[in-house]
A and B are shown apart, each in its own frame.
Chain A
Amino acid sequence: EVQLVESGGGLVQPGGSLRLSCAASGFTFSTYWMTWVRQAPGKGLEWVANIKQDGSEKYYVDSVKGRFTISRDNAKNSVYLQMSSLRAEDTAVYYCAREHCGGGSCYSPAYGMDVWGQGTTVRVSS
């Protein structure tokens, strides 16, 4: 079964740090771009960051640039999101997602997110 399982969420004080993990199974992890998406309470979906198969390309939404770092370990079939200098507005459910390969090609993250984890909750509060 194709599956993504996030972990690492929790309550953290403003200015603190947290590392989210996403463990993949049931597919060849190293073949796919991977993405983090978040959803603040009662709000819509917001793309956070993504990473290419070999980690050579990484992109971030402007609001987290310089504070969050996405990485992956293909040997462990895992993708991570290191979050620092956390703010109240970072409070959200964080989802890990796999980027679909369009037409058999996986060279771009432009083909939609076809597998999602169940999410992990991050709450930033004093």
Chain B
Amino acid sequence: SYVLTQPPSVSVAPGQTASITCGGNNIGSESVHWYQQKPGQAPVVVVYEETGRPSGIPERFSGSKSGNTATLSISRVEAGDEADYYCQLWDTSSDHAVFGGGTKLTVL
């Protein structure tokens, strides 16, 4: 089955840029989405289809993809960005949705 690999944790100082990666075989052929989940809350999509940003999501959140890796970048990180972040795609070969294992972002 398709596997998306994320680092378990990323730490960044306030005001700096956080980069969270998501790796998977043939990820280049699928659309990758990113979700933010704060403790006790439902997930919220922050980037869809690699680079799309829903209304209400700050421009500080952006996505990119290169080769077999997708990246969520959060610029000018704030304390309120501390959360778990998940990547996700729809695997057209198996007709299954797949989530990465999640990355805990810590703001130092």
With a CB–CB cut-off of 8 A, which chain B residues contact A111? 31, 33, 48-49
With a CB–CB cut-off of 8 A, which chain A residues contact B48? 100, 102, 111-112, 114
Contact of A108 among B90, B100, B102 (CB under 8 A): B90
A112 adjacent to B99 (CB under 8 Å): no
With a CB–CB cut-off of 8 A, which chain B residues contact A88? none
A44 adjacent to B1 (CB under 8 Å): no
Q: Which residue of A has the minimal Cβ distance to B1?
A: A62
Q: Give a binary string over B45-85; 1 marks a CB under 8 Å from any A CB, 0 the rest.
A: 10011001010000000000000000000000000000010
B99 adjacent to A45 (CB under 8 Å): yes
B44 adjacent to A50 (CB under 8 Å): no
Contact of A110 among B1, B30, B42, B54 (CB under 8 A): B30
B21 at the interface (CB under 8 A from A): no
Q: Which residue of A has the minimal Cβ distance to B30?
A: A110
B31 adjacent to A110 (CB under 8 Å): yes
Q: Is the interface of B mostly helix, strand, loop or mixed?
A: strand
Interface residue stretch chosen among A8-16, A23-31, A75-83, A116-124: A116-124
Q: A112–B33 Cα gap in the complex (Å)? A: 6
Q: A35–B84 Cα gap in the complex (Å)? A: 21
B54 adjacent to A114 (CB under 8 Å): yes
Q: A37–B2 Cα gap in the complex (Å)? A: 17
B98 at the interface (CB under 8 A from A): yes
Q: Which residue of B has the minimal Cβ distance to A49?
A: B97
Q: Which residue of B has the minimal Cβ distance to A57?
A: B95
B43 adjacent to A45 (CB under 8 Å): yes
Contact of A100 among B45, B92, B100 (CB under 8 A): B45
A59 adjacent to B96 (CB under 8 Å): yes
With a CB–CB cut-off of 8 A, which chain A residues contact B43? 37, 45, 95, 113, 116
Q: A1–B11 Cα gap in the complex (Å)? A: 35
With a CB–CB cut-off of 8 A, which chain B residues contact A109? 90, 97
| Given A102-B31, A109-B90, A44 and B96 contact (CB-CB distance below 8 Å) | no
B-binding residues in A (CB < 8 A): 35, 37, 44-47, 50, 59, 61-62, 95, 100, 102, 108-114, 116-119
When A and B form their complex, which 7 residue pairs have the shortest distance between CB atoms, in order from nearest? A112-B48, A112-B33, A47-B97, A110-B90, A44-B102, A116-B42, A45-B99
